[in-house]
Amino acid sequence: MTPLLESVLFLGNWLIMARAGLLALEFYSPDTKSWRQAHMQARYAIFRVLLEAGEGLLELTGSGADTIIKLNREKILTTGKKAIGAFLEKLNVYKAMADVDEGLAMYKKYTAVPDEYVPLRQIVLAQKQPRKLFVQAVTTCGADGAVTLKDYEATPVGMVASFVDRFSEQGPLKGLVEHLSACGPFRYPAK
């Protein structure tokens, strides 16, 4: 990997995490002031740690739908690494000492959503895209040896059609379902 590519990937990971923290607001309920998904709450905590680090590491500029996340690449290895390291160290110490009260207090501090961020949540919800579907194409080999590829639209209907074609009697995996069901129940752990 070239140093330039390595640098771009490194910066990209930090920026993706900051963006993910902001997008996590989708899973925050302002009415109950609670989070619906723990991993989104954790992403938001990292976002808040980076914002709190100061020194121009991470800033939100603009307002409303024109809000921009600015990440200063020059500060990642200094301010960013120090802030995330301190946060994780404190969290680890609280866990190691079984200090639930202090650990929860710190975590709640970083996952509390200030009132000025609630409008950002509305923007996140308004900009939300439908979940992407990965629909697998089906390849078949004809009697003459010609290979064909059948592609499907990325919709629930396309996904079902792909499964039907793959596992039907004419599909490349014909009989697989029957074969597996004839093997009997799968036991875990296998003995």
Determine the Cα–Cα distance for residues 50 and 59; give it in Å rounded to an integer.
9
Q: Report the pLDDT value the prediction gives residue 49, as an integer from 0 to 100.
A: 92
Q: Where are the domains of the chain?
A: 3-127, 138-182
pLDDT at 4: 55
pLDDT at 133: 85
Alpha-carbon span 152 to 30, nearest angstrom: 39
Cα distance between the two ends of the chain: 44
Residue-by-residue DSSP string for 37-78: -HHHHHHHHHHHHHHHH-TTSEEEES-GGG-EEEE-GGGIII
Burial 10-22 (b: 16+ CB within 10 A, else e): eeeebbeebebbb
Question: Is the distance from CB of 22 to CB of 84 less than 8 angstroms?
Answer: no
* Amino acid at position 29, single letter: S
Coil/strand/helix, residue 177: helix
Low-confidence ranges of the chain (pLDDT < 50): none
